[in-house]
Amino acid sequence: MEKLRHVIFFTLAIPLISFVFACNQGNRKNTSSPTSKNKSNSSNTRFLSLKSTIGLPEVNGGFDLMSLDITGKRLFVSAQDNHSLEVIDLKAEKALQSVSGLNEPKWSFYLPEKNEIYVACGGDGKVIEMNASTFNTIKEFQFKEACNNLRYDKVSNQLWVGIGQSFGALGVIDLDQDKIIREIPLSGYLKQFELDGNRVYVNIPGKNQVDVVGRKKNKVTDVWPVKLSEQNVSMALDTANQRLFVGCDPGKLIIISTETGLPVTEINISKGADGIYFDKKRSLIYVSCGEGYIDIIKQNSADHYQAVEKIKTKEGAATSFYSPELDELFLAVPQTANQQAAIRIYQPTN
């Protein structure tokens, strides 16, 4: 009888033990093999690393956009609150010169063929053309209101200017003729824009839309609503995949097809996106945000994107510039009561 009880016990116990063991193995397998999305987000992979920091102790307040002299290794930084253009020696990693007396400089563009720099000013509606060695003024182009964004078209040798506060328009400066040749009215006050062949895509944040300007007709030919968020401020373009990256202030990156004008997908990012740059070599999107982060998005395909890293920076450090030639990302850190103004230089890790 005792022997029979042992037989019955082991007959019942062995399947039960096998079942528990199998469950534990299954749980262990699920824990170590998360989905690819979670695996990427929870990994220790770093896509950018801080190379160096250049202090700017004489600069007060914040910055707007930058431009670059690749050959001379000079970075030009618009210190809008300081009313100056800061010239940084990237080889020596130090401040080189401060060009003062500018009325709220916003964007700049460096033309290497002539060693000249153009600075758009928000305070007086001027684009100032300067010699980039002496920084003496060569010519001033006067518009009706504040000048902001600048984009250069090498094919036509034209400099495009975002203008307006109470209205919005695109101004065009012909650099061969050295004069303003036209202004194209928009549906409202504009922020960043991108040139794409015969079209220009323009963020109109007050209307939550992108104005599409036809360059042959010199007018708005289409409007793409931005319905997935609001306050579309920053913008970048992937021409190969026909994708427009639109950063919205509340913390959303919207990817729009430039074939259809429709959103392909969206992804959550930090708030206050101001600089968006597409690293084609690595299929990465760098987004600098005023909330105090650089968000890095991986483009897995034209329609699929994934947040892969969030780098803590400083609150208010929204302005950035990525140079594919130097393979470096520059981030402007504003001066506050608790911190000195500075330029941080980041490098991709692979």
pLDDT band at 43 (very low <50, low <70, confident <90, very high): low
Q: Read off the pLDDT of each residue in 299-310 and give the average, rounded to a whole number.
A: 98
Q: What is the DSSP letter of 167?
A: S
Single-letter residue type at 83 = H
Q: Which two tokens stand for residue 81?
A: 């609150």
Q: Tell me the pLDDT of the chain averaged across its residues.
A: 90
* Global pTM value: 0.87
Right CATH number for 63-185 from 2.130.10.10, 2.60.40.1180, 3.30.1360.170, 3.90.550.10?
Answer: 2.130.10.10
Asked if 200 contacts 215 with a C-beta cutoff of 8 angstroms, the reply is: yes
Q: Read off the pLDDT of each residue in 166-176 and give the average, rounded to a whole number.
A: 98
* pLDDT computed for residue 153 by the predictor: 98
Topology, domain 44-60+230-350: Methylamine Dehydrogenase; Chain H (2.130.10)
Q: Where in the chain is the domain with CATH 2.130.10.10?
A: 44-60+230-350, 63-185
* pLDDT computed for residue 28 by the predictor: 35
- Contacts of 64 by beta carbon, 8 Å cutoff, 6+ apart: 78, 80, 105, 106, 107, 319
Residue 5 parent element (H or E): helix 2-32
SS3 string, 25-92, reads HHHHHHHHCCCHHHHHHHCCCCCEEEEEEEECCCCCCCCCCEEEECCCCEEEEEECCCCEEEEEECCC
Q: Read off the pLDDT of each residue in 17-35 and give the average, rounded to a whole number.
A: 36
Single-letter residue type at 108 = S
* pLDDT computed for residue 1 by the predictor: 42
Q: Tokens 């094919």 label which residue? A: 155
pLDDT band at 45 (very low <50, low <70, confident <90, very high): confident
* pLDDT computed for residue 165 by the predictor: 93
20 pLDDT higher than 50: no
**Residues of 75-106 as b/e, b for ≥16 C-beta within 10 angstroms?**
bbbbbbbbbbbbbbebeeeebeebbeebbbbb
* pLDDT digit string, tens, across residues 227-240: 999 999 999 999 99
